[in-house]
Amino acid sequence: MSIVQEIKTINDVKVVVLEGEVDTKTASSVTDAILPLIESGSKIILDMTGVAYMSSAGIRVLKVVHQKTVAQESKLVLVGLSEDIEDTMSITGFLNFFVTTKTLEEGLEALAS
Amino acid sequence: MPIERSDIHPTHKYGDFKMRCGKPFPFGTTLVPGGVNFSIFSSQATSCTLVLFQKHAKEPMAEIPFPDEFRIGNVYCMVVFDLESENIEYGYRMDGPNNFAQGHCFDKTKILLDPYAKMIGGRDIWGITPDWQDIYQHRARITFDDFDWENDTMLEIAPEDQIIYEMHVRSFTRDPSSGLKENYRGTFAGIREKIPYLKELGINAVELMPIYEFDEFENSRPNPETGETLLNYWGYSTVGFFAPKGGYAATGKFGMQVDELKALVKELHKNGMEVILDVVFNHTAEGNEKGPTISYRGIDNKTYYMLTPEGYYFNFSGTGNTLNCNNPVVRGMVLDCLRYWAAEYHIDGFRFDLAAILGRAPNGTPLANPPLLESLAFDPILAKCKLIAEAWDAGGLYQVGSFPAYGRWAEWNGKYRDTLRKFLKGESNVGEVAQRLQGSPDLYAPSGRVPATSINFITCHDGFTLMDLVSYNDKHNEANGENNNDGGNDNDSWNCGWEGQSDNPEIKALRHRQIKNAIAMLMVSQGVPMILMGDEGGRTKQGNNNTYCHDNKLNWLDWSLFKTNADLVKFVQNCIAFRKAHPVLRNPNHFQNRDYVGSGYPDISWHGTRAWYVDWSSSHTIAFLLCGKHAKQGQVEDNYIYVAMNMHWESKWFEIPGLPPDRKWHVFANTGAEPPEDSWVPGKEPSLENQAGLLLRDRSVVILVG
């Protein structure tokens, strides 16, 4: 089951929009969609405004994506994390690996600089 | 290009599930390519079945018997493929003999918890009444072990440099006065939010009361006075030794307690604080013959428990059963468990509850050379961990000073507590006090054990808080519903003239002064100081000295106290800072009572109201001088420190020993002075007016630095 609603490009940034829950069932759809997009110097936004819930496996999927961006010297921004998800990621120590913004506009701005 | 392993495909089928023979190590569950490896030991089972549930489901989704070819010796091991490991719960059914007198309690109608379960569901949120109809109450789950520690590692603070803060996870931030968001209160995440407070206080080691999965509903019953439910609040009753308590995690409802606790440890380390876990290997939550069968009883009762020849449970813990720690298999489990916490959670040390039990043989006899204690002392993974023993048990084995140490173990020094409490009342002998202040060489030096062996404390979770120690002569535990029969009677407390709360300003002032006396003496003693959470703010439990069952304000820390009693907090902060600033207070070896660096002063000298002379028959006045040139056996230079103690009800003039001509005495602390002049920030201490002597008011302590 895929929760990748759409993938679009804005300027030089690839925006992946997710909708639904990120857990063991949907994890591979996320990595299948995003990992191929990560190349040297690329800029990626993961729009999570439509994500209501992330399980432990779901958070780890983000970490795997983050790791590839580090390896490829590319940049990643998470947009629109709900308060619950942001809390959970902070409490479990995952949040500080990521750059996060509330809106897509702010995310694009963060990558432009 | 890595070559794929050739042993990652199933060889067996059972219904919809595919399996293959697993590996016996490690015990418990391990994620392997394509599946999960399950491994469990039982020496007496005749058959074993793996029971799988969808998370939270009432009925199992599958019961897979272990084929005989999946058993190696007494270990059943199997890999099950294609499991959604984060969404399932698992357990075991075991069949075997059921013969009470021979110690066998197999019951295949029960689903048993894996002793090596790394996460346990069933009490995911604290205090939610369980479904008592659930056939499997405490449910093992499978965890991820890929937490990113970055560069974190154990801090390895030198034992003599530790300053320990004993804390209960829920009590620390549960109260609304903590100011935290509701879902953070009473959790690991809550502690993390309060790290700035701990850092400002200055402690460098947090000792957490039991954090592995326990059942707060064990023995739950209504409070006879208020009707509220009394719970197993403190948690000294283990359900699973390898799993952090879900109800202590803000993310417990999502099953993320493992990551949450690791994130807490990582952040504490970043802020210079070690983590010590209170571990309870002396008994389990299964109780005695009448207790519930959760795990061990149904898996291998005779191996895991100390049994009498008739098959009853030995009760050296006072709680119903006693874990058979010196049985080689159980010893292996204890070692595996501690290694797991050290390696996977970067835990810096362990405090062993009722540790005398760890030195008993399977039939209860105290051993001279207990294999478990020896194994722990020499284990390679635990080599740099602190090992602290509560060196007694409930069966009469009191081993303070004689606990089998193998050069590694430290002890909760109950004699320090008793001596200092009596001294605060003016009832101790100063010779005994002198021993305690020096790191108790009388107890430890003859066997070659260093001062850091002695964990010095005046209060801990057992017994009165420091405020209550100076506010009550007697315990008041009526709220526990046991007619005030529970809790210790030998509190050595003194209420300063009134039993309980008082608005009398003189009594309040005396109580604050006594608290500062206790903290001051603790912080200048050789050995390792430990303070109880909240004592720095004058926390009270209304005179209840055994609040093990209260999930309410009796236990919850009231953060407003830190404002109300800001004078106490400041004093404690300054004393901690003073200790950290002066290595002469933290010697790795005992004093030699002589001058071995040629300074003209012995490393330590004793004084009374007259300098260089002690009336050793006194119960009230004593002083000591530390020569700064002898700090850390003369390895570093420090100031000279003089501590005078007057526990008499009248003021006394103390003649102060002279310093070398190039030095002058400054006053770091005088508990007899009005705050804020009762203590100073180290380095900013004012000069002492009369260098030859000073008047100590009744029941006060003065600390000079020069």
| Residues of chain B positioned with their CB less than 8 A from the CB of A93 | 147-148, 259-260, 262-263, 266-267
The count of C-alpha atoms lying within 13 angstroms of the C-alpha of B129, restricted to the half-sphere facing its C-beta, is: 6
- Span B79-120, pLDDT tens digits: 999 999 999 999 999 999 999 999 999 999 999 999 999 999
| Residues of chain B positioned with their CB less than 8 A from the CB of A55 | 86, 254-255
B159-583 and B592-705 share one fold: no
Rounded to 5 degrees, φ, ψ at B570 are -60, -45
A63 vs B: CB within 8 A? yes
Residue B3 is predicted with a pLDDT of 84
Q: What residues of B are in the A interface, CB distance below 8 Å?
A: 84-87, 144, 146-148, 183-184, 188-189, 192, 249-251, 254-256, 259-260, 262-263, 266-267
**What is the extent of the structural domain holding A43?**
4-112
A70 vs B: CB within 8 A? no
Closest-CA distance, B195 to chain A, in angstroms, reads 13
| Residues of chain B positioned with their CB less than 8 A from the CB of A98 | none
Closest-CA distance, A50 to chain B, in angstroms, reads 19
Give which of B58, B85, B319 is closest to B210, Cα–Cα.
Answer: B319
B353 is a catalytic site residue: yes
- In this complex, which of B84, B86, B260 lies closest to A91 when CB atoms are compared? B260
The span from the CA of B222 to the CA of B156, in Å, is: 45
Beta-carbon separation of A93 and B256 below 8 A = no
B482 is a catalytic site residue: no
Closest-CA distance, B706 to chain A, in angstroms, reads 46
- In this complex, which of B144, B192, B256 lies closest to A88 when CB atoms are compared? B256
DSSP string, A3-61: -EEEEEEETTEEEEEEEEEESHHHHHHHHHHHGGG--TT-EEEEEEEEEEEE-HHHHHH
Beta-carbon separation of A91 and B192 below 8 A = yes
Single-letter amino acid code for the residue at B485: N
Closest-CA distance, B191 to chain A, in angstroms, reads 11
8 Å CB contact between A80 and A45: no
A23 vs B: CB within 8 A? yes
Residue A42 is predicted with a pLDDT of 93
Structure tokens at B167: 């804390």
Residue B406 is predicted with a pLDDT of 85
Residue B397 is predicted with a pLDDT of 87
Beta-carbon separation of B254 and A88 below 8 A = yes
| Residues of chain A positioned with their CB less than 8 A from the CB of B173 | none
| Residues of chain B positioned with their CB less than 8 A from the CB of A92 | 251, 256, 259-260, 263
- Span A28-54, pLDDT tens digits: 899 999 999 999 999 999 999 999 999
Peptide bond into B441 cis (omega under 30): no
Q: How many domains does chain A have?
A: 1
Radius of gyration of chain B (CA): 27
Which of A91, A94, A98 to mutate to test binding with chain B, by most B CBs within 10 Å of its CB? A91
* Span B265-282, average pLDDT: 97
Residue B394 is predicted with a pLDDT of 85
CATH, domain B159-583, list 3.20.20.80, 3.30.420.40, 2.40.50.320, 3.30.210.10? 3.20.20.80
Residue B681 is predicted with a pLDDT of 98
Structure tokens at B645: 């103690």
**What's the CATH code, domain B12-141?**
2.60.40.10
In this predicted structure, the answer to whether residue B385 has a pLDDT above a threshold of 90 is yes
Query: Chain A to chain B, count of Cβ pairs less than 8 Å apart?
Result: 52
In this predicted structure, the answer to whether residue B312 has a pLDDT above a threshold of 80 is yes
- Span B560-569, pLDDT tens digits: 999 999 999 9
CATH number at residue A18: 3.30.750.24
The count of C-alpha atoms lying within 13 angstroms of the C-alpha of B448, restricted to the half-sphere facing its C-beta, is: 5
**CA pseudo-torsion sign B124, B125, B126, B131:** negative
The span from the CA of B269 to the CA of B156, in Å, is: 10
- Span B615-670, pLDDT tens digits: 999 999 999 999 999 999 999 999 999 999 999 999 999 999 999 999 999 999 99
| Residues of chain B positioned with their CB less than 8 A from the CB of A25 | 84
Q: Could you list the beta-strand ranges (E) of B155-294.
A: 164-167, 205-208, 221-222, 229-230, 274-279
In this predicted structure, the answer to whether residue B1 has a pLDDT above a threshold of 80 is no
| Residues of chain A positioned with their CB less than 8 A from the CB of B147 | 93
- In this complex, which of A56, A63, A97 lies closest to B256 when CB atoms are compared? A56
Contacts of B491 by beta carbon, 8 Å cutoff, 6+ apart:
B421, B463, B464, B469, B472, B474, B475, B545
Rounded to 5 degrees, φ, ψ at A37 are -80, -15
A24 vs B: CB within 8 A? yes
The residue of chain B nearest to residue A85, with distances taken between CA atoms, is B251
Q: What is the average pLDDT score of chain B?
A: 96
The span from the CA of A68 to the CA of B347, in Å, is: 30
A86 vs B: CB within 8 A? no
Closest-CA distance, A2 to chain B, in angstroms, reads 17
Residue B295 is predicted with a pLDDT of 97
Beta-carbon separation of A91 and B144 below 8 A = no
| Residues of chain A positioned with their CB less than 8 A from the CB of B184 | 91
- Span B318-334, pLDDT tens digits: 899 999 998 999 999 99
In A, residues 25-54, which contact B (CB 8 Å cutoff)?
25
Q: pTM (2 decimals)?
A: 0.97
pLDDT band at B368 (very low <50, low <70, confident <90, very high): confident
- Give domain B592-705's CATH superfamily: Golgi alpha-mannosidase II (2.60.40.1180)
- In this complex, which of A24, A59, A91 lies closest to B84 when CB atoms are compared? A24
Beta-carbon separation of B256 and A92 below 8 A = yes
Contacts of B447 by beta carbon, 8 Å cutoff, 6+ apart:
B405
pLDDT band at B121 (very low <50, low <70, confident <90, very high): very high
DSSP string, B224-254: TTT-PEE---S--SBS-TTSB-GGG-TTGGG
The catalytically annotated residue of B160, B215, B353, B393 is: B353
Q: Which of B224-228, B435-439, B595-599 has the lowest mean pLDDT?
A: B224-228
Residue B482 is predicted with a pLDDT of 92
Closest-CA distance, B266 to chain A, in angstroms, reads 9
DSSP B84: -
Is this complex scored with an ipTM above 0.85?
yes
Beta-carbon separation of B87 and A56 below 8 A = no
The residue of chain B nearest to residue A88, with distances taken between CA atoms, is B251
Residue A113 is predicted with a pLDDT of 75
pLDDT band at B223 (very low <50, low <70, confident <90, very high): confident
Beta-carbon separation of B250 and A91 below 8 A = yes
* Residue spans per domain, chain B: 12-141, 159-583, 592-705
Residue A102 is predicted with a pLDDT of 96
Give which of B489, B318, B498, B289 is closest to B394, Cα–Cα.
Answer: B318
| Residues of chain A positioned with their CB less than 8 A from the CB of B169 | none
| Residues of chain B positioned with their CB less than 8 A from the CB of A60 | 144, 146
At B205 the three-state DSSP class reads strand
In this predicted structure, the answer to whether residue B206 has a pLDDT above a threshold of 90 is yes
The span from the CA of B345 to the CA of B263, in Å, is: 9
The catalytically annotated residue of B114, B216, B390, B551 is: B390
Rounded to 5 degrees, φ, ψ at B457 are -150, 150
